[in-house]
Amino acid sequence: MKIHIDKTNEEVEKKFEGTVKRLLETLNINSEEVLVIRDDTLITEDVELSDNDTINILSVVSGG
């Protein structure tokens, strides 16, 4: 799996199959602080991922 982490501008290659939630846990990323994109589509944390996916993890920005 290819993973791009926007916050750190890091590219990660990882063997992984499971849910988005589990992937974020293994990367020590809080699921409430990011959006996960696969193939230009926003996906939720219960979506199953496969080892051949390309994932983009974007930080959520808020302010007032």
Candidate CATH numbers 3.30.230.70, 3.10.28.10, 3.10.20.30, 3.90.550.10; the one for domain 2-59: 3.10.20.30
What residue segments make up the domains of the chain, in order of their start?
Answer: 2-59
Q: In the structure encoding, which two tokens stand for residue 14, read together?
A: 């990882």
Neighbours of 46 (CB within 10 A): 8
The stretches in the chain having pLDDT less than 70 are 63-64
> pLDDT per residue over 42-51, tens digit each?
999 999 999 9
Instruction: Give the model's pLDDT for residue 26.
Output: 96
pTM for the full model? 0.90
Instruction: Give the model's pLDDT for residue 62.
Output: 72
Instruction: Give the model's pLDDT for residue 61.
Output: 79
Instruction: Give the model's pLDDT for residue 22.
Output: 97
The owner of tokens 């290819």 is 2
